[in-house]
Structure 1
């Protein structure tokens, strides 16, 4: 692919597609009457979240040459993300769609229609924009991209290009459905995911995941032990999110914990991606770890109080306003 002349604040690689979310909540899919269509996919959502904070972001991914693929490209551009590295795959699988059910506050099952594969898993090493990856201030990849070839080889090649450059992030986004059909019936898909994650962590400097994901990778069920196990792979920063119980972040010399911000949950699926984009913003701004985590946690809280993921990503002003409200409330107690 042609080398880049632009130095991006964030380059992310991975999932993109279309989310079809129900407008009737508290019912199963067979009872839903209407849906609304949104840009989806974890990597896409993280780039949108960062763009909402004024960061120049680009996505490395792929769609099919179909109506949903055209929608993805249009939405990325409208939401401030450069789509120049989102390839169009012809003659292959369609642009994937994802359905969910919404049972607030804590049950949001998803169905990923991306089998036997999806265009974003057909990215090859020779299609990578290596200059853009190498020069990006933050490079973001996820465990999902390691679930099958040729995407696995592409992800590892991109990480080798970074060679532990600062802010080389591995999102421990473990979706068991993407791994289950790649191993034998007698095998545990988590074993393959753990092996691939450990290979990728050799080139990363930051890891982010919820506690369940960190447990898959490290085998540790305690947040502190999981963070220490991640750091032992050579990372500079490990972040363990715990949904309503807050966030733990650890460096070789520092440990910070922030508590969850109260919110009425509408759809819990986009909070982690909002957290990720806000984390990128805080790291690039040079904030201390506590301020960065507070900012990212509020961004995540705002999104889980909304229906969508991509279009729900908050602006910096919205996050700051909520932080100010929380400070006022704390001061009044």
Structure 2
């Protein structure tokens, strides 16, 4: 796809939240019994950016963080992963970064997310208007940033500016109901965003949600390609994924792994998939790379710290078995 050849530059501009994750320690401990925690960088966009850097790409994050210890933790973690933070603005007042408490276990998994007065929602036009879009290979965002103003309007402004600079637009649906005023607003905003993007990734529940009451999620995904998207990936959990392009559809399975938690797969899939495309993989090969990255992350503690390096990903794909699509 000649429209995506720009990805070979391996420079990604990622819009969205960064936060702190707290994992009950040792692994397997329920939150209500936890007396110790390990910390990690969190937030879907920050996780994607960190994952891209771990895989040999460059990533810059556009967001706002709170002017407190948690915001400074996020900045330090971004720097540790090699994420360019020059487009991260610190905000004062009552704004706070996201704080997620989670367990490292599969059965009975629990997580609690604090998003009151979220700092990333304060991102506005000043944060996106002067960005050097032409110096990047693509713009990546997740649906979380669209859940409130002024960050929603700023993101759509960034879409316009990035598209004018020739960048592919890449969208991870990432629907979190608790962030939205209503399901109807979320469906309308997500459909608008998806209609503007070149690559859209989501799961079966998210596409069904976008299709509206009684709608068919897979048909919604297909319609996006019919309307101009280059790649739509319809993920189905343990059943694998359907990749839809103007040339047709392909089904892929998932890699066998010993999962210890159910979170982090989506962010790592996006990072692995984009890094694969940037390396020159076919769409099918990039989907396999994304699936492998997701399998590795759910088998490790944390999300950003569990992201594989290029060497780890290559080694895993060489030895692991891919389960056929369901």
Identify whether the pair has TM-score above 0.5, normalized to the shorter chain.
yes
C-alpha distance in 2, partners of 1:91/1:200? 30
C-alpha distance in 1, partners of 2:26/2:223? 42
Question: Which residue in 2 is equivalent to 1:144?
Answer: 144
Q: For the structure 1 residues 240 and 214, does the alpha-carbon distance in structure 2 shift closer, same or farther, using more than 3 Å as the test?
A: same
Question: Which residue in 2 is equivalent to 1:168?
Answer: 169
Question: Which residue in 2 is equivalent to 1:236?
Answer: 230
1:249 to partner: Cα distance: 0.9
SS of the equivalent of 1:310 reads: coil
Aligned 8 A contact 1:256 1:289 in 2: no
Tell me how many residue pairs correspond in the alignment.
Answer: 313
Q: For the structure 1 residues 102 and 326, does the alpha-carbon distance in structure 2 shift closer, same or farther, using more than 3 Å as the test?
A: closer
- Give structure 1 stretches of 5+ with no counterpart: 1-6, 183-188
Q: For the structure 1 residues 324 and 146, does the alpha-carbon distance in structure 2 shift closer, same or farther, using more than 3 Å as the test?
A: same
C-alpha distance in 1, partners of 2:167/2:64? 26
Q: Deviations over 1:101-137 (max 9, x none)?
A: 34415x533322111x211110001221544335421
**TM-score using structure 1 length:** 0.88
SS of the equivalent of 1:311 reads: coil
1:41 to partner: Cα distance: 0.1
Give 1:54-203 correspondences, 5 Å limit: 54-104=56-106, 107-115=108-116, 117-128=117-128, 130-163=130-163, 165-179=166-180, 182=181, 189-203=182-196
1:191 to partner: Cα distance: 1.3
**TM-score using structure 2 length:** 0.89
> Which of these residues, 193, 202, 214, is aligned with residue 209 of structure 1?
202
Question: Which residue in 1 is equivalent to 2:300?
Answer: 306
Aligned 8 A contact 1:211 1:221 in 2: no
Aligned 8 A contact 1:18 1:98 in 2: yes
C-alpha distance in 2, partners of 1:314/1:234? 32
Aligned 8 A contact 2:195 2:224 in 1: no
1:247 to partner: Cα distance: 1.7
Root-mean-square deviation (CA), in Å?
2.1
Q: For the structure 1 residues 146 and 35, does the alpha-carbon distance in structure 2 shift closer, same or farther, using more than 3 Å as the test?
A: same
C-alpha distance in 2, partners of 1:225/1:26? 39
Question: Which residue in 2 is equivalent to 1:29?
Answer: 31
Question: Which residue in 2 is equivalent to 1:185?
Answer: none
C-alpha distance in 1, partners of 2:249/2:167? 19
Q: Deviations over 1:25-56 (max 9, x none)?
A: 55542222211111100000000111011111
C-alpha distance in 2, partners of 1:309/1:235? 29
SS of the equivalent of 2:258 reads: coil
